Copies of this chain bind each other. A is one copy, B any other.
């Protein structure tokens, strides 16, 4: 009932296609970890949850398939992709290059105001992650997105929509809750993350494109390495039917 009216209302409100809306919702469920990696996605169940029929659900799943978030086995349904560690490293090497380009481009376009926004975003993320690890803050989905704000801001400042999309495509391949967890759980990672962001920020403020790109590249590669290690060790979050 509520699910149905909810879904339909959203579709009506935005005027956008219901299918795109469904894809977004399913993606969110995966990103937040509500649906763990390796889990099966049954069409009938999703259709029931959202109060629609299987037809639009199937189309939404096709979208998620081409974006790489899920894998569809013929006649056997869809499962959330389980990234292999080497796949994470490969992806993050690509992402590092793209974000380095974004940083270099951003140097020529960034304003003082935007530098301040970046600094604030970085500080806020650090404070929130600390509070989270102390148990002093709840796990709010909004702050989840805040985690990526630093990077998405730089990508948008870079002023190349295609570049931003390419970076986003990579990020949307890996559930976000995992990388967010890394920063929350390990204070060393959190501190390093904060300082690396500060160094990038400094290079941006100094107008040093070369250094901004290189700092960003190293930062992303390092983050990818941590994420890959996590997948190597704690593959325990993989759903096992």
Contacts and interface: CB of A to CB of B under 8 A. Distances in A.
Interface of A: 15-17, 19, 55, 58-60, 62-63, 65-67, 72, 74, 87, 90-91, 93-94, 97-98, 101, 160-163, 166, 169-170
A110 to B, nearest CB: 18
Nearest to A87: B162
Contacts of A67: 66
Give the top 10 A-B pairs by smallest Cβ distance, nearest first.
Answer: A90-B162, A62-B62, A63-B66, A59-B62, A91-B162, A66-B66, A90-B160, A17-B74, A97-B101, A94-B163
Contact of A62 (B19, B98, B163, B166): B19
B90 A101 contact: no
A87 to B, nearest CB: 7
A160 B163 CA distance: 19
Given A17-B72, A59-B59, A59-B62, 9 more contacts: A19-B62, A55-B55, A58-B59, A62-B62, A66-B66, A87-B161, A91-B162, A94-B163, A166-B166
Contacts of A94: 98, 101, 160, 162-163, 166
Nearest to A11: B74
A91 B166 CA distance: 9
Contacts of A60: 62
A59 B43 CA distance: 14
